[in-house]
Amino acid sequence: MLNSPRTTDTGRAAGPGRRTPVSVTAPDPISREGAISQLRRHPEIELREETGPGTVALLIEDALDDAGLTRLRRLVRSEGARAVLVVGTIRENELLDVIECGVGAIVWRREATDHRLVQAVLAASRGDGDLPSDLLGRLINQVGTLHRGAAGRPGSPSLGLAAREVDVLRLVAEGLDTGEIASKLSYSERTVKNVMHGLTTRLHLRNRAHAVAYALREGYI
Q: What is the DSSP string of 86-122?
A: EEEE--HHHHHHHHHTTEEEEEEGGG--HHHHHHHHH
Report whether 135 contacts 95 (CB < 8 A).
Answer: yes
- Tell me the per-residue pLDDT of 84-116, one tens digit each, with 9 for 90 and over: 999 998 887 777 778 777 787 899 999 999 999
**159-177: pLDDT as tens digits:** 578 888 888 888 888 778 8
99-138 in b/e form (b: 16+ CB < 10 A) is bebbbbbbbbeeebebbbbbbbbbbbbbbbbbbbeebbeb
Give the lowest-confidence range in 5-14, 129-138, 191-200.
5-14
**Neighbour-count burial of 12, counting CB atoms closer than 10 A to its CB (0-12 exposed, 13-18 middle, 19+ buried):** exposed
The contacts of residue 145 (CB under 8 Å, 6+ apart) are none
Report whether pLDDT(22) > 70: yes
Query: Which helix (DSSP H) or strand (DSSP E) does residue 19 occupy?
Result: none
pLDDT given for residue 74 in this prediction:
85
The yes-or-no verdict on residue 10 having pLDDT over 60 is no
The answer to whether the beta carbons of residues 100 and 72 sit under 8 Å apart is: no
What does pTM read for this prediction?
0.63
Please name the amino acid found at residue 187.
Y
Provide the pLDDT for residue 210. 79
CA distance 119 to 117: 5
52 or 7, which is more confident? 52
Instruction: Collect all residues with Cβ–Cβ distance below 8 Å to 30 and sequence separation of at least 6.
Output: none
CA distance 90 to 101: 15
**pLDDT over 60 (residue 59):** yes
